[in-house]
Amino acid sequence: MLRLVAISAALLLAATTSYAQNADAIKQRREAMRAIGQAGGDPFRMTRGELPFAMAPVQAVLASIIENAPKFKAAFPDDSKTGTTDATEKVWTSRAEFNAIIDKWVVDARAATVSIKDEATFKVEYPKLVATCGSCHGNNGGYAPGLGDSFRRMRTPL
Confidence at residue 17, expressed as pLDDT on a 0 to 100 scale: 43
CB 42 within 8 A of CB 51: yes
Side chain identity, residue 120: A
Kindly report, residue by residue over 134-145, the tens digit of the pLDDT.
888 876 678 887
pLDDT at 9 over 50: no
* Number of domains the chain is built from: 1
- Whether the predicted pLDDT of 87 surpasses 90: no
Buried b (16+ CB within 10 A) or exposed e, 36-60: bbebbebbbebeeeeeebeeebbeb
3-state secondary structure at position 72 = helix
Stated pTM of the model: 0.81
Give the residue numbers spanning the domain of 13.
2-154
Residues 6 or more apart whose CB falls under 8 angstroms from that of 119 comprise: 53
Cα distance between residue 145 and residue 150, in whole Å: 6
Dist. CA 136–CA 130, nearest whole Å = 11
**CATH for 112:** 1.20.120.10
Dihedral sign of CA atoms 93, 79, 86, 108 in order: negative
In the predicted structure, residue 116 carries a pLDDT above the cut 90: yes
Residue pair 73/95 in contact (Cβ under 8 Å)? The answer is no
